[in-house]
Structure 1
Amino acid sequence: MLLLTLAIIIVAYLLGSISSAIIVCRMLGLPDPRTTGSNNPGTTNVLRMSNKITAATVLFLDIIKGTIPVWGAYFLQVEPFYLGIIGVAACLGHMYPIFFDFKGGKAVATALGTLLPIGLGLGALLIITWICVAKLTKYSSLAAIVTVSFAPVYVFLLKPLYVYPTLMLSALIIWRHKDNISRLLKGTESKISTK
């Protein structure tokens, strides 16, 4: 089981390393999202660069690359702690993709994907939290930070067994947003906008 778990961790990282934003932008002839706008290859930056359909495509692909390895490991009865490691590996792949010079995004959508196997109810709570904060503040980064901060609380209420894996993911995502947190405190963070 240990070798299988290790293999899934590696696969999760490699799946996470497939940067949906960069690939979709290349296919559509758009600029590299790492060199345009916020320089972040993620859904919000793609939305700024293009349109809602393109951004939704990136969002969907980023979510499923987190869901696939965790769901697979869940059905193979991998222990909850290692499910958390697998989720972290997928997010690390998105943040530091081996296929794209280790220059990736914040992994918010991928983290959501890793949490979906816990239950659709949890997914709904996370999405509603993100939408509410984003609508009220117009800050995608703040919405992400608040959402992942609440994620362990939601998991504790729904399936306490997965609290520690969720805490690992939340800590990783918040750490990845450290520059955004600094800009939010200074009042220089970019707000969500479309063309």
Structure 2
Amino acid sequence: MWMPFLIGLLVCLMGYGLGSLNSAIIVSHLLHLPDIRQQGSGNAGMTNMLRVHGRKAALLTACGDLIKAIVAVGLAQLIFRLAQIPLALDPGYLAGLFILIGHIFPVFFAFRGGKGVMPALGIILWVNPLAFLILLLLAIPVFLLSRTMSVVSLLCTALLPAVTWLLAYWRSQKPLYSVMITCVYAALVIWSHRGNIRRLLHGEETKIIPDVKKN
């Protein structure tokens, strides 16, 4: 009777624990760089690492955030499979929710983390790779036009529930739970971008590729 609850609790705690391992902060420490939370925008994420510490640090950060998400999601699926506990929702989605919470509010780093974009990509890459591919194909032209990572992140995050629903409908699956939890994913990531949204509305958001000035 208690086994499903305990297994679910284990998966949630595992997801939160791994999510709390913020790659940007860890990479900054390992490379003997200043705390990224005290630099640039103050965000402990890949984009700020790229602006402040360069490509190598940003790449290591992105890889770390992707890997921790994939590991947590894969372990969640394995645990439920070995325990033979049926779940209406892919266990990876459940772990994914707590990965995002841990990434944004990491217990190991005074609850000051990143914005959840790279872990969200890792979750979707593993749980729903076709959705990941669709969002990637949408992200490329949007980035080339806007040259702003926050625009790409917000657009793809906002579209995630719709893409999840369309793919579930196409596969003749019941989309309710997966759409609901991806809506929560989207809400968390969009909330964490509230500062970016304000800057976008005021035309103050920094671009990854600056505009070329015309003479």
What TM-score, normalized to structure 2?
A: 0.83
Equivalent in the alignment of 1:48: 51
Does 2:106 match 1:90? Answer: no
Q: Which moved more, 1:130-139 or 1:57-66?
A: 130-139
Deviation at 1:69, TM superposition (A): 2.1
Does 2:137 match 1:128? Answer: yes
- CA gap of 1:35–1:131, structure 2 versus 1, over 3 A, is farther
8 A Cα contact 1:70 1:117, kept in partner? yes
- Tell me the SS of whatever aligns to 1:141: helix
Alignment of 1:21-100 (within 5 A): 21-75=24-78, 76-77=80-81, 78-80=87-89, 83-100=92-109
Q: Which structure ranks higher in relative contact order (CA pairs < 8 Å, sequence separation ≥ 6)? A: 1
Query: Aligned letter for 2:12?
Result: I
Query: Aligned letter for 2:73?
Result: V
Note the residue ranges of structure 2 that are not aligned, 5 or more in a row.
82-86, 170-174, 211-215
8 A Cα contact 1:8 1:86, kept in partner? yes
Deviation at 1:66, TM superposition (A): 1.8
Residue identity (%):
36
Distance in 2 between residues matched to 1:80 and 1:53, nearest whole Å: 37
Equivalent in the alignment of 1:169: 185
1:33-52, Cα deviation, whole Å (9 max, x unpaired):
10111111111111112332
Distance in 2 between residues matched to 1:56 and 1:126, nearest whole Å: 20
Distance in 1 between residues matched to 2:51 and 2:93, nearest whole Å: 32
What TM-score, normalized to structure 1?
A: 0.90
Deviation at 1:119, TM superposition (A): 2.8
Aligned CA RMSD, in angstroms, stands at: 1.9
Moved over 3 A (4+): 81-85
